[in-house]
Amino acid sequence: MTKHLFLVGFMGSGKSHWGEKISARTGVPFLDLDVLIEAGEGNSIPEIFARQGESGFRDLERSYLHRVAGLPASIVALGGGTPCFFDNQAVMEASGTSVYLKTAPEVLISRLEREAEQRPLLAQLDRTALHSFVHERLAARESCYLKADIVLDMAQEEKLIQERLEALIRRNK
Protein backbone atom coordinates (compact mmCIF):
# COMPACT_ATOMS: atom_id res chain seq x y z
CA MET A 1 0.00 0.00 0.00
CA THR A 2 1.50 3.32 -1.01
CA LYS A 3 -1.02 5.67 0.57
CA HIS A 4 -3.29 5.73 3.57
CA LEU A 5 -6.85 4.49 3.68
CA PHE A 6 -8.71 6.96 5.93
CA LEU A 7 -11.90 5.81 7.64
CA VAL A 8 -14.28 8.72 8.11
CA GLY A 9 -17.66 8.91 9.84
CA PHE A 10 -19.69 9.84 12.87
CA MET A 11 -18.91 8.54 16.37
CA GLY A 12 -20.12 4.95 16.55
CA SER A 13 -19.94 4.31 12.80
CA GLY A 14 -17.36 1.54 13.24
CA LYS A 15 -14.15 3.29 12.12
CA SER A 16 -11.94 1.64 14.76
CA HIS A 17 -13.74 -1.71 14.57
CA TRP A 18 -13.37 -1.99 10.80
CA GLY A 19 -9.86 -0.54 10.77
CA GLU A 20 -8.65 -3.22 13.19
CA LYS A 21 -10.47 -5.97 11.38
CA ILE A 22 -9.23 -5.09 7.88
CA SER A 23 -5.71 -4.54 9.20
CA ALA A 24 -5.70 -8.04 10.74
CA ARG A 25 -6.95 -9.54 7.49
CA THR A 26 -4.61 -7.67 5.10
CA GLY A 27 -1.48 -7.09 7.22
CA VAL A 28 -1.63 -3.33 6.47
CA PRO A 29 -0.85 -1.43 9.71
CA PHE A 30 -3.71 0.20 11.61
CA LEU A 31 -3.56 3.64 13.25
CA ASP A 32 -6.31 5.25 15.32
CA LEU A 33 -5.91 9.03 15.46
CA ASP A 34 -7.58 9.36 18.90
CA VAL A 35 -5.34 6.61 20.31
CA LEU A 36 -2.23 8.34 18.89
CA ILE A 37 -3.30 11.64 20.50
CA GLU A 38 -3.92 9.93 23.85
CA ALA A 39 -0.56 8.11 23.75
CA GLY A 40 1.35 11.19 22.61
CA GLU A 41 -0.24 13.53 25.15
CA GLY A 42 -0.35 11.02 28.01
CA ASN A 43 -4.02 11.96 28.52
CA SER A 44 -7.39 10.54 27.59
CA ILE A 45 -9.62 12.37 25.09
CA PRO A 46 -12.13 13.31 27.86
CA GLU A 47 -9.23 14.73 29.95
CA ILE A 48 -7.95 16.74 26.97
CA PHE A 49 -11.44 18.18 26.42
CA ALA A 50 -11.75 18.98 30.14
CA ARG A 51 -8.36 20.71 30.35
CA GLN A 52 -8.01 22.37 26.95
CA GLY A 53 -11.57 22.55 25.69
CA GLU A 54 -12.73 21.38 22.29
CA SER A 55 -10.56 23.97 20.52
CA GLY A 56 -7.42 22.65 22.25
CA PHE A 57 -8.37 19.13 21.17
CA ARG A 58 -8.95 20.26 17.56
CA ASP A 59 -5.47 21.85 17.43
CA LEU A 60 -3.92 18.58 18.66
CA GLU A 61 -6.03 16.55 16.24
CA ARG A 62 -4.81 18.66 13.34
CA SER A 63 -1.17 18.38 14.34
CA TYR A 64 -1.36 14.57 14.82
CA LEU A 65 -3.09 14.22 11.43
CA HIS A 66 -0.21 16.13 9.81
CA ARG A 67 2.23 13.71 11.47
CA VAL A 68 0.24 10.67 10.38
CA ALA A 69 0.31 11.93 6.78
CA GLY A 70 4.08 11.42 6.77
CA LEU A 71 4.02 7.85 8.13
CA PRO A 72 4.15 4.67 6.02
CA ALA A 73 0.85 3.75 4.40
CA SER A 74 -1.71 2.53 6.92
CA ILE A 75 -5.42 2.14 7.57
CA VAL A 76 -6.27 5.22 9.66
CA ALA A 77 -9.41 5.58 11.80
CA LEU A 78 -10.04 9.31 12.16
CA GLY A 79 -12.10 10.99 14.88
CA GLY A 80 -15.70 11.82 14.06
CA GLY A 81 -14.88 15.51 13.61
CA THR A 82 -11.48 15.24 11.91
CA PRO A 83 -12.42 15.98 8.27
CA CYS A 84 -14.54 18.99 9.29
CA PHE A 85 -11.82 21.22 10.80
CA PHE A 86 -8.97 23.37 9.45
CA ASP A 87 -7.11 21.99 6.43
CA ASN A 88 -7.66 18.38 7.53
CA GLN A 89 -9.63 17.39 4.43
CA ALA A 90 -6.82 18.69 2.20
CA VAL A 91 -4.21 16.76 4.22
CA MET A 92 -6.28 13.60 3.81
CA GLU A 93 -6.65 14.15 0.07
CA ALA A 94 -2.91 14.66 -0.32
CA SER A 95 -1.95 11.52 1.61
CA GLY A 96 -4.59 8.91 0.90
CA THR A 97 -8.00 7.68 -0.08
CA SER A 98 -10.93 8.25 2.25
CA VAL A 99 -14.02 6.15 2.88
CA TYR A 100 -17.13 7.47 4.63
CA LEU A 101 -18.76 4.75 6.74
CA LYS A 102 -22.31 6.03 6.22
CA THR A 103 -24.52 4.86 9.09
CA ALA A 104 -28.16 5.64 9.87
CA PRO A 105 -28.73 7.95 12.87
CA GLU A 106 -30.88 5.32 14.66
CA VAL A 107 -28.00 2.82 14.49
CA LEU A 108 -25.53 5.43 15.78
CA ILE A 109 -27.86 6.37 18.64
CA SER A 110 -28.34 2.79 19.81
CA ARG A 111 -24.57 2.19 19.80
CA LEU A 112 -23.73 5.51 21.43
CA GLU A 113 -26.25 4.99 24.23
CA ARG A 114 -23.97 2.20 25.42
CA GLU A 115 -20.68 4.08 24.99
CA ALA A 116 -21.42 7.73 25.77
CA GLU A 117 -19.16 8.04 28.80
CA GLN A 118 -15.96 7.59 26.73
CA ARG A 119 -16.97 10.50 24.50
CA PRO A 120 -16.80 14.01 25.95
CA LEU A 121 -19.27 15.45 23.45
CA LEU A 122 -21.92 12.99 24.66
CA ALA A 123 -21.15 12.55 28.35
CA GLN A 124 -23.80 14.95 29.69
CA LEU A 125 -26.64 13.94 27.38
CA ASP A 126 -29.71 11.95 28.40
CA ARG A 127 -31.55 9.76 25.90
CA THR A 128 -33.65 12.53 24.34
CA ALA A 129 -30.74 14.94 24.12
CA LEU A 130 -28.53 12.24 22.55
CA HIS A 131 -31.21 11.65 19.93
CA SER A 132 -31.34 15.35 18.93
CA PHE A 133 -27.56 15.72 19.15
CA VAL A 134 -26.91 12.85 16.72
CA HIS A 135 -29.53 14.03 14.21
CA GLU A 136 -28.37 17.66 14.31
CA ARG A 137 -24.63 17.02 14.36
CA LEU A 138 -24.85 14.39 11.61
CA ALA A 139 -26.86 16.79 9.41
CA ALA A 140 -24.24 19.49 10.01
CA ARG A 141 -21.32 17.16 9.27
CA GLU A 142 -22.69 15.14 6.39
CA SER A 143 -21.40 17.63 3.80
CA CYS A 144 -17.82 17.22 4.96
CA TYR A 145 -18.14 13.41 5.28
CA LEU A 146 -19.44 13.33 1.70
CA LYS A 147 -16.14 14.81 0.49
CA ALA A 148 -14.68 11.32 1.04
CA ASP A 149 -13.57 9.52 -2.12
CA ILE A 150 -15.90 6.59 -1.42
CA VAL A 151 -19.21 6.40 0.45
CA LEU A 152 -19.81 2.97 1.98
CA ASP A 153 -23.35 2.10 3.00
CA MET A 154 -22.98 0.45 6.41
CA ALA A 155 -26.51 -0.99 6.23
CA GLN A 156 -25.12 -3.64 3.86
CA GLU A 157 -24.25 -7.16 4.95
CA GLU A 158 -20.96 -7.28 6.90
CA LYS A 159 -19.43 -9.59 4.30
CA LEU A 160 -19.99 -7.00 1.55
CA ILE A 161 -18.52 -4.22 3.69
CA GLN A 162 -15.46 -6.36 4.37
CA GLU A 163 -15.00 -7.24 0.68
CA ARG A 164 -15.31 -3.61 -0.37
CA LEU A 165 -12.76 -2.40 2.19
CA GLU A 166 -10.33 -5.18 1.25
CA ALA A 167 -10.75 -4.30 -2.43
CA LEU A 168 -9.88 -0.69 -1.60
CA ILE A 169 -6.71 -1.82 0.15
CA ARG A 170 -5.72 -3.86 -2.90
CA ARG A 171 -6.46 -0.90 -5.17
CA ASN A 172 -4.44 1.44 -2.95
CA LYS A 173 -1.31 -0.74 -3.34
For ligand S3P, the binding residues (CB under 6 A) are 11, 15, 34, 45, 79-81, 119-121
- What is the rounded distance in angstroms from the CA atom of residue 109 to the CA atom of residue 127? 9
Helix H or strand E encompassing 13 = none
- Smallest distance, Å, CB 121 to ligand S3P? 6
Which lies closer to ligand S3P via its Cβ, residue 34 or residue 148?
34
Edge-first strand order for the sheet with 75-77 is: 30-32, 75-77, 4-8, 96-102, 150-153
- Smallest distance, Å, CB 104 to ligand S3P? 16
42 phi-psi bin (left φ>0, alpha ψ -120 to 50, beta other): left
Which lies closer to ligand S3P via its Cβ, residue 2 or residue 133?
133
Measured on CA atoms in the order 58, 62, 68, 74, is the torsion positive or negative?
A: positive
- Smallest distance, Å, CB 27 to ligand S3P? 23
Which lies closer to ligand S3P via its Cβ, residue 96 or residue 120?
120
CA angle 121, 123, 128 (to 5 degrees): 95
- Smallest distance, Å, CB 15 to ligand S3P? 6
